[in-house]
Amino acid sequence: MDKPGFILVSQSSNILKNFVILVWLVKRFIYSSVVGKFMVYIVKKKVKGREYFYLRESRREGKNVVSKDIAYLGKSRRGAEKKMSEILASEKKGFKGSEIKKEMDKILSIDELATFCKRRGFVYPSGEIYGGLAGFWDYGPIGVELVNNIKREWWKFHVQHREDMVGIDGSIITNPKVWEASGHVESFVDVIVVNKKTGEKKKVDKHEVKGLGKEWEVKGEFNPMFMTKVGAIKEDSTEAYLRPETAQLIFADFKEVWENARLKLPAGIAQIGKAFRNEISPREFLFRAREFEQMEIEYFIAPGMSCPYIDEIRGIEIEILSEEMQRRGEEKGEKMEIYGAWKKGVIKTDWHAYWLSEELRWFIMLGANPDKFRARQHTSEERSHYASDTWDLEYKFPMGWRELQGFANRSNYDLSQHAKKSGKNFEVQAEKGNVLPEVVCEPSLGVGRAFLVFLFEAYGYDKERENVVLSLSPKIAPFKAAVFPLISKGEVLEMSREVFKELKEEFNVFFDKSGSIGRRYARQDEIGTPYCITIDSDSLKKKDVTIRDRDSTKQIRVKSKDLLGVLRGLLSEREGFEGAGKIVETRVK
């Protein structure tokens, strides 16, 4: 056979370890490299009834065989087959091992990413013409589209696609008694320390002070909430705060939301919005800022209620670093099935196991590499004042493992505090009478941190093209397509405008008629546009257009009347690129 082959492996939600269900071609394609032999094959994972396909690499290291997923191939078998064929075709260029994933792999520092984001219109330092202000950032014309798409996908996944979730949009400034009741005024405290040699300042939690070296001096405690005044006349004004988190108005508005939405336990309330913390030392680009945006859920259950969705998470694996492992001094966790970790008692509650799996699944669905995530349990010293148990979903950034998303078991702390302070009744009806609901899990994710994950996952420099390529998922790409007339006047320009106008009704599409076609392709590669559509003189005669795929640079020809439907199929990943039209060879890739 002249085509490269692969093995398709099924990892279903019920039996993770059931293997080969289909051999597409009998011949296995094995490559040699300086470190030994390895093979690549397609793995199908079925999670919550949905199928996802990945390219997996297995290589021999000494006496062991090490396997890892190296590329996300989409949600259809046909599309996965096509994409793998395109990736394996690159072997002819001399790629080895993980280089098959993309020639452009490169370890990018957080500062290099910040420079790239500024150059391409993703993110700017706020007020930079006056020197900027540490910890504050502005999203540019490309960045705001990416951020909005991330938020839209999060909202669809967590709210609109579920029956047990509703949303609110609370105020940034509210009655200060909300923050008194929540404990933020009294307990939301960090410690300022200064390095005696370098003068570096940073904040640490109280439990971290003992572990600091002698070069650090404690300068005191501070509350990171921003204070402001409400009222035009100073003497009559009220002292208030910019909210340090989005959670509290979910609790303050809880009873009204519950009754208006006619919710029943278990159920959640979600919110996306700005929060503010007066960080002593904002750093690492968007990772630690003073103004940031959160995507947060408070999920409520009756006391002792078990998770009815727990069987849906079978087969989802992650590296787990428990409190016990940390106390033994271990820095590397253990790869476990999340369901199995819950059954063994490593993860204490079925709800934590479920929400950890759901949040990991959301990232994977949008193209993130599951091997770069881990779940770390907070030690008792570092848990927040309101939490009985907390886990972090962490991501391996270039600067090391960092918290990406927190999962706190707040119990009934917040509702009971607001009940005491306000004198209101927050109980709701359950199967066995009225109960005060517990927040069993609080999936809380920073928009900026998710933004960084997707950029780090997507960024690469293509040596052959000699430009950056952002391999973003089509779902979150700032522009879904770009339209290029090869002739910037006359009928070709007119047809291009008509195509652009039709696509613009449904998708965010870019129009560009300036510069060489190669330069136009490069500009779109750098901002992650998955498909470029060109119209030439042949398009006028044959009433068709050319679509160019960002990742493979392959091109197909489709009828202009079918373009909208073809693009829908490509963007939803229901259709593989090569099967969507007739492959054509072009001089410019």
Asked if 165 and 18 sit in the same domain, the reply is no
Asked if 43 and 87 sit in the same domain, the reply is yes
Asked if 342 and 254 sit in the same domain, the reply is yes
Report yes or no: 50 and 316 within 8 Å, Cβ to Cβ. no
Q: Is residue 208 part of a domain?
A: no
First to last CA, the chain: 28
Asked if 297 and 149 sit in the same domain, the reply is yes
Asked if 423 and 550 sit in the same domain, the reply is no
Q: Is residue 252 part of a domain?
A: yes
Asked if 361 and 289 sit in the same domain, the reply is yes
Domain hosting 348: range is 128-188+223-455
Report yes or no: 68 and 101 within 8 Å, Cβ to Cβ. no
Residue 487 reports pLDDT greater than 50: yes
Between 88-97, 175-184, 372-381, 436-445, the lowest mean confidence (pLDDT) is in: 88-97
Asked if 28 and 168 sit in the same domain, the reply is no
pLDDT in tens, 261-297: 999 999 999 999 999 999 888 999 999 999 999 999 9
Among 418, 439, 455, identify where a domain stops.
455
Asked if 235 and 303 sit in the same domain, the reply is yes
Residue 485 reports pLDDT greater than 50: yes
* Size of the chain, expressed as the number of residues it contains: 589
The rounded percent of the chain whose pLDDT value lies above 90 is: 68
Return mean pLDDT, the chain: 86
Report yes or no: 276 and 243 within 8 Å, Cβ to Cβ. yes
Q: HSE, CB side, 13 Å, CA atoms: give it for residue 90.
A: 21
Q: Is residue 401 part of a domain?
A: yes
Asked if 13 and 90 sit in the same domain, the reply is yes
pLDDT in tens, 306-324: 999 999 999 999 999 999 9
pLDDT in tens, 290-305: 999 999 999 999 999 9
Q: Is residue 110 part of a domain?
A: no
Asked if 136 and 239 sit in the same domain, the reply is yes
Residues 376-402: b if buried by 16+ CB within 10 A, e if exposed: bbbeeebbbebbebbbbbbbbbeeebb
259, 269, 300, 413, 433 from 428: Cα distances, Å: 9, 15, 11, 16, 8
Place of tokens 């993130």: 368
Asked if 447 and 483 sit in the same domain, the reply is no
pLDDT in tens, 541-583: 999 999 999 999 999 999 999 999 999 999 998 888 989 999 9
Among 455, 487, 507, identify where a domain stops.
455
pLDDT in tens, 225-239: 999 999 998 888 999
Q: Is residue 53 part of a domain?
A: yes
Q: Is residue 209 part of a domain?
A: no
Q: Is residue 550 part of a domain?
A: yes
Among 455, 487, 504, identify where a domain stops.
455
Residue 60, by phi and psi: left (phi above 0), alpha (psi -120 to 50) or beta? beta
**How many domains is the chain built from?**
3
Tell me the β-bridge partners of 222.
Answer: 190
- With cut-offs at 50, 70 and 90, classify the pLDDT of residue 473: very high
| CATH code of the domain covering residue 544 | 3.40.50.800
3-state secondary structure 229-278: EECCCHHHCEEEEECCCCCHHHHHCHHHHHHHHCCCCCEEEEEEEEEECC
Residue 31 reports pLDDT greater than 50: no
| CATH code of the domain covering residue 320 | 3.30.930.10
Report yes or no: 482 and 532 within 8 Å, Cβ to Cβ. yes
Q: Look at residues 446, 456, 454 and name the one whose alpha carbon lies nearest to residue 398.
A: 456
Q: Is residue 315 part of a domain?
A: yes
Helix, strand, coil shares, percent, the chain, to 5: 35, 30, 35
Asked if 450 and 483 sit in the same domain, the reply is no
Residue 389 reports pLDDT greater than 90: no
